[in-house]
């Protein structure tokens, strides 16, 4: 849950006259969730945000899934994924279900337009790269390790730093991505036992108000298509806003791990939740300190979930043959666990330096044809002695 925040100039009272220097009214836009009953923000524009000059269908968006084969564990080497273009066109969708779509992107170009997703929130994990996210809420700098949490309807574009390679993991939800409810008190404040606090959430730093004429493009993804809207005024014309709904950044390095005397289960790593899935952060941490502890995870069956693990960097104590940007997919129905020798080999070790992002989904995922193209076909047999 984000907290109350304000940027720019707003009037003392909502929904009252707020006039520009020439005497005309600023134009309100209320952005809110759950039909006026969720969090919301009120923005003030120089021009009505409804003044569209032209509309055209940009493209249809339909995923191509693999033909159904045997149920198996998967290893995707996403460093081999062919990706070029901007932060949207470079996306390579790898897997999806009715709740979430997981993609990677290695953008090579800046975005020349703004974009919004109409059906849910997005989290963009910045594996590599830096720059800033430009939105109607202001400028939000990003760096490696950041989760960029973008609420549905927010208009944005990524402006990467020149000559800095960009590598992104994109989690597109059909719903809202929020801190786990068990971390919050009844007032919406993060509790003392939560692994991060409001101080770790970075809202937009400053507001840039544009009053320019020309032709400005905004693309909206909705209903399996991307539609282009052309405006004759700059869409980032907000002079002020306040509320609880806005994009923010949270760096994985600010996640404080929860440890114990014996091995802690994956929920202690949970960072966000959404309808149908959760997002977890595995960060450098001290190992279990019981004198007979076994730090490596025990074998387990994902009875109700598919487990997707994106490896960022470090030494992965339970896996062999894994590289940065690898993705493993362990589906429900069959057990998985540490590779041979890793379970016993973890005994006596004091800490791990691994960094990874996990997505657990509660409905089965389907892999795309692009995912199969980069699959390590030997991985399902890698537990052999």
For the chain, the structural domain boundaries read 5-64+81-251, 253-381
* Protein fold of 5-64+81-251: Jelly Rolls (2.60.120)
N- to C-terminal Cα distance for the chain? 46
**Contact of 119 with 222, CB cutoff 8 Å:** yes
Lookup: tokens for 131: 């720059």
Backbone angles phi, psi at 381, to 5 degrees: -100, 10
- Residues tagged active-site: 263
What is the three-state SS of 326-357?
Answer: EEEEECCCCEECCCCCHHHHCCCCCEECCEEE
Q: Which of 4, 75, 19 is nearest to 308 (CA)?
A: 75
Return the CATH architecture of domain 253-381: Sandwich (2.60)
Same fold, 5-64+81-251 and 253-381: yes
Per-residue confidence (pLDDT) for residue 143, from 0 to 100: 97
In sequence order, what are the residues at sequence separation of 6 or more whose Cβ sits closer than 8 angstroms to the Cβ of residue 368? 63, 64, 65, 66, 93, 94, 95, 96
Q: Is 193 annotated as a binding residue?
A: no
Per-residue pLDDT tens digits for 66-94: 998 899 999 999 988 877 899 999 999 99
Per-residue confidence (pLDDT) for residue 81, from 0 to 100: 80
- The residue to which tokens 């991060």 are assigned: 196
Per-residue confidence (pLDDT) for residue 344, from 0 to 100: 79
Q: Is 336 annotated as a binding residue?
A: yes
C-alpha 147/C-alpha 169 separation (Å) is: 9
Please report, for residues 195, 233, 307, 354, the alpha-carbon distance to residue 252 in angstroms, rounded to integers and kept in the order given: 11, 37, 19, 12
Output the tens digit of pLDDT for each of the chain's 385 residues: 689 999 999 999 999 999 999 999 999 999 999 989 999 999 999 999 999 999 999 999 999 999 988 999 999 999 888 778 999 999 999 999 999 999 999 999 999 999 999 999 999 999 999 999 999 999 999 999 999 999 999 999 999 998 889 999 999 999 999 999 999 999 999 999 999 999 999 999 999 999 999 999 999 999 999 999 999 999 999 999 999 999 999 999 999 999 888 888 888 999 999 999 999 999 988 888 888 888 888 888 878 999 999 999 987 766 777 899 999 999 998 998 888 887 777 887 878 888 999 999 999 999 999 999 999 999 999 998 7
Q: Is 75 annotated as a binding residue?
A: no
Per-residue confidence (pLDDT) for residue 1, from 0 to 100: 65
């Amino acid at each position: 849950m984000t907290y109350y925040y304000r940027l720019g100039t707003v009037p003392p009272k909502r929904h009252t006259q707020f006039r520009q220097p020439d005497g005309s009214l600023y134009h309100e836009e209320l952005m809110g969730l759950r039909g006026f009953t969720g969090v919301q923000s009120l923005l003030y524009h120089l021009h009505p945000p409804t003044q569209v000059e032209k509309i055209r269908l940009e493209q249809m968006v339909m995923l191509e899934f693999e033909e159904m084969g045997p149920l198996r564990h998967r290893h995707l080497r996403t460093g081999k994924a062919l990706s070029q273009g901007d932060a949207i066109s470079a996306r390579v969708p790898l897997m999806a279900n009715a709740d979430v779509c997981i993609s990677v992107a290695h953008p090579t170009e800046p975005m020349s337009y703004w974009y919004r997703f109409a059906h849910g929130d997005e989290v963009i994990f910045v594996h590599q790269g830096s720059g800033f996210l430009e939105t109607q809420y202001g400028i939000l700098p990003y760096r490696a390790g950041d989760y960029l949490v973008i609420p549905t309807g927010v208009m944005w574009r990524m402006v990467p730093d020149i000559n800095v390679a960009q590598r992104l993991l994109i989690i597109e939800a059909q719903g809202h991505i929020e801190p786990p409810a068990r971390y919050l008190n009844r007032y919406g404040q993060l509790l003392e036992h939560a692994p991060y606090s409001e101080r770790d959430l970075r809202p937009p730093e400053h507001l840039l108000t544009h009053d320019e004429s020309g032709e400005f493009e905004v693309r909206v993804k909705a209903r399996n298509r991307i539609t282009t809207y052309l405006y004759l005024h700059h869409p980032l014309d907000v002079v002020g806003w306040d509320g609880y709904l806005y994009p923010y950044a949270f760096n994985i390095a600010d996640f404080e791990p929860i440890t114990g005397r014996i091995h802690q289960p994956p929920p202690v790593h949970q960072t966000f939740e959404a309808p149908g899935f959760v997002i977890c952060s595995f960060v450098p941490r001290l190992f279990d300190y019981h004198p007979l502890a076994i730090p490596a995870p025990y074998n387990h069956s994902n009875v109700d979930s598919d487990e997707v693990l994106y490896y960022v960097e470090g030494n992965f104590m339970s896996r062999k043959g894994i590289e940065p940007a690898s993705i493993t997919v362990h589906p429900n129905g069959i057990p998985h666990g540490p590779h041979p020798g890793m379970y016993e080999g973890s005994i006596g070790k004091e800490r791990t330096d691994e960094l990874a992002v996990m997505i657990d989904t509660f409905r089965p995922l389907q892999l795309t044809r692009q995912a199969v193209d980069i699959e390590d076909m030997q991985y399902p047999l890698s537990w052999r002695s």
